[in-house]
Chains A and B, each alone.
Chain A
Amino acid sequence: MFTWDLLANAVVAGILLGGFYAAVSLGVSLTFGLLDVVNIAHPAFVILGAYAAYVMNSSFGLDPILTGVLFTPLFYALGAGVYRIYYSSFERRGEESLRGLVFFFGLLFIIEVALSLKYGVDYRLVEAAYIGKSIDLGGVGIAFRLLVPCVVGLLMTLALSLFLSRTFYGRAVMGVSQDQVALRLMGANPVRIKTIAFGIGIAAASLSGALLITISPVVPSTDRDYIGRVFAITVLGGLGSVGGTLVASIILGVAESLMATLFGPSWSLAVSFGILLLALAVRPAGLFGR
């Protein structure tokens, strides 16, 4: 039964979902969009972050999003380490395109399997005071479990955008894939710059994992739902454009929410790939690509 209320609710839920999708995609926008590293293991780090939030919540009653923030230095270090291995094993030898892809694909499965062995394949969830609460704005319900991740996602987008445009490291990150020799002539070490950027990308992934488990329960294989989504968002937004990532995330969030409301939730994944194909056909540079 279609009503305007239903439509309004679907759109609002989609926008809120979009803020969260931006959080999940920011890291890929950084690593794939700006560093040219096809990090398809990104969603696995999201799930790893979700499980960190789950463990701290179930063991110590710590708030999931607070856990996500507290764990970012650890995941930054993890990401920096992963990039160093990737660099010395593949990128330095110019073998990154295919073997690098296999490396990240393997990493994705190792993380997924390790989580399954340790925590099983049951759905895990977190508890917090705001989960389950909502406010009603003239017939449109806003669930806090969606609102809080959306706000955090927007703050993350703002922070990354400021980092890239206002800091010396950020500008070097934007230039690093364009000309590495030129970057060295500016006095910046490209490997160091990429290590920092990759660390930030993985830290963002882990924080978005804490948001994910706040929104809905998680199993180790949840990462697979996000591979298509994050790359669709990154390409649609324009490679390396943080603002574009946010806009594309909201477009995808609203599209998925409408599809789920009108035709059922099983269609929602088809939406991301449909949008990806459409973007590649009509505007390959993305909405905000340079």
Chain B
Amino acid sequence: MRDVVAGYGAVRILHGVSVEVREGETVALLGTNGNGKSTLIKCIMGLLTPDAGEIYLESDGARIDLTKRSTEEIVDLGIALVPEGRRLFPRLTVEENLLLGAYRTGARADIDRNLPFCFEAFPVLRERRRQLAGSMSGGEQQMLAIARALMSSPRILLVDEPSVGLAPILVTRVIAKIRELKDRYQLTVLMAEQNFNQATKIADRGYIIVHGRIEFEGRSTAELRENELVKKYYLGV
């Protein structure tokens, strides 16, 4: 995305943000609460239309303008989001949630492959497949949210704040799972996260967003770690 400007009504959140994610990369989008991480993700998914700037997907030489597409069409392109707050269907069972994840036409034929894989990656989901999603613990719900996104056979996985509301041990586990899945599926991942230490465990590189502007682009996690902003905001140095 290039020079994206976006906000809600008169409130401008993003002031010309440019971010690039190349195929096969895991990119971290770092920033504390209220700096525009979720707004940026909403723009990519078509849940919010930017006031200016461009967002596009380049694949096989074709260039697709995402700002002109609906959320449903963007999902159909193979982009899946694990949303902030998980957004499960609380009164549907675990299995029904997973099957809804495979709603898009491109994913339906893959159910026989994807469903066993999700159960293998998250055995707790197999045990609880008949249980209502809303009755599970936060960690289990986060696992389900990730598994549901994988059910859509995505090429690109967006993850918004996977660590929110989880105990530290669960955060470590969820982050490790995302990496494992990325390796197995050859996914491209963009992860918005405020937990710097966890995010840099699996990211190839990252951006730091402050007040709706990209303040630093780290070409490696080492570069990120050395950055003054990171030292000031995250590492307490």
Decide if A and B are genuine partners: yes
Report which A residues bind B (CB closer than 8 A).
168, 171-172, 174-175, 178-179, 181-189, 290
B83 in the interface, Cβ–Cβ < 8 Å? Answer: yes
Q: Cβ of A168: which chain B residues have Cβ within 8 Å of it?
A: 99-100, 102-103, 108
15 A–B contact pairs at CB < 8 A? A171-B96, A172-B100, A174-B96, A179-B87, A181-B87, A182-B88, A184-B47, A184-B70, A185-B80, A185-B83, A185-B87, A186-B101, A186-B103, A187-B103, A290-B132
A188 to B101, CA, bound (A): 10
How many residues of chain B get a CB closer than 8 Å to chain A's CBs? 28
In the complex, how many angstroms separate the beta carbon of A161 from the nearest chain B beta carbon? 14
Known: A186-B100, A189-B70. A178 touches B92 (CB 8 A): yes
A179 to B92, CA, bound (A): 11
Of A174, A181, A187, the contact of B104 (CB 8 Å cutoff): A187
Q: Is there contact, CB below 8 Å, between B90 and A186?
A: no
Q: Is there contact, CB below 8 Å, between B104 and A175?
A: no
Q: Is there contact, CB below 8 Å, between A179 and B89?
A: yes
Q: Is there contact, CB below 8 Å, between B87 and A188?
A: no
B91 in the interface, Cβ–Cβ < 8 Å? Answer: yes
Q: Is there contact, CB below 8 Å, between A178 and B96?
A: no
Known: A184-B47, A290-B132. A171 touches B92 (CB 8 A): yes
Q: Is there contact, CB below 8 Å, between A186 and B75?
A: yes
A46 to B123, CA, bound (A): 48
B76 in the interface, Cβ–Cβ < 8 Å? Answer: yes
In the complex, how many angstroms separate the beta carbon of B62 from the nearest chain A beta carbon? 20
Lowest 6 CB-CB distances: which A-B pairs, in order?
A187-B104, A187-B75, A182-B87, A175-B89, A184-B71, A186-B103
Q: Is there contact, CB below 8 Å, between B92 and A184?
A: no
B26 in the interface, Cβ–Cβ < 8 Å? Answer: no
A174 to B90, CA, bound (A): 11
Known: A172-B100, A174-B96, A175-B100. A184 touches B72 (CB 8 A): yes
A82 to B105, CA, bound (A): 28
B152 in the interface, Cβ–Cβ < 8 Å? Answer: yes
In the complex, how many angstroms separate the beta carbon of B206 from the nearest chain A beta carbon? 24
Report which B residues bind A (CB closer than 8 A).
45, 47, 70-72, 75-76, 80-81, 83, 87-92, 96, 99-105, 108, 132, 148, 152
Q: Cβ of A174: which chain B residues have Cβ within 8 Å of it?
A: 89, 92, 96
A182 to B81, CA, bound (A): 9
Q: Cβ of A186: which chain B residues have Cβ within 8 Å of it?
A: 75, 100-101, 103-104, 148, 152
Q: Cβ of B47: which chain A residues have Cβ within 8 Å of it?
A: 181, 184
Q: Is there contact, CB below 8 Å, between B99 and A185?
A: no
Q: Is there contact, CB below 8 Å, between B75 and A185?
A: yes
When C-beta atoms are compared, the residue in chain A nearest to B106 turns out to be A187
A48 to B152, CA, bound (A): 42
In the complex, how many angstroms separate the beta carbon of A165 from the nearest chain B beta carbon? 8
A174 to B93, CA, bound (A): 11
A189 to B100, CA, bound (A): 13
Q: Cβ of A290: which chain B residues have Cβ within 8 Å of it?
A: 91, 132
Q: Cβ of B91: which chain A residues have Cβ within 8 Å of it?
A: 178, 290
Q: Cβ of B90: which chain A residues have Cβ within 8 Å of it?
A: 178
Q: Cβ of B148: which chain A residues have Cβ within 8 Å of it?
A: 186
Of A178, A183, A185, A188, the contact of B45 (CB 8 Å cutoff): A185
A178 to B132, CA, bound (A): 13
Of B45, B72, B89, B96, the contact of A189 (CB 8 Å cutoff): B72
Q: Cβ of B71: which chain A residues have Cβ within 8 Å of it?
A: 184-185
In the complex, how many angstroms separate the beta carbon of B188 from the nearest chain A beta carbon? 17
When C-beta atoms are compared, the residue in chain B nearest to A239 turns out to be B91
Q: Cβ of B45: which chain A residues have Cβ within 8 Å of it?
A: 185
Q: Cβ of A183: which chain B residues have Cβ within 8 Å of it?
A: 100
Q: Chain B CB within 10 Å — which of A178, A184, A186, A189 has the most?
A: A186
**A-B contact sample (12 more), CB < 8 A, given A183-B100, A185-B87:** A171-B99, A172-B100, A174-B92, A174-B96, A175-B96, A178-B91, A179-B88, A184-B75, A185-B45, A185-B75, A186-B75, A188-B100
In the complex, how many angstroms separate the beta carbon of B15 from the nearest chain A beta carbon? 25
Q: Cβ of A179: which chain B residues have Cβ within 8 Å of it?
A: 87-89
A178 to B92, CA, bound (A): 9
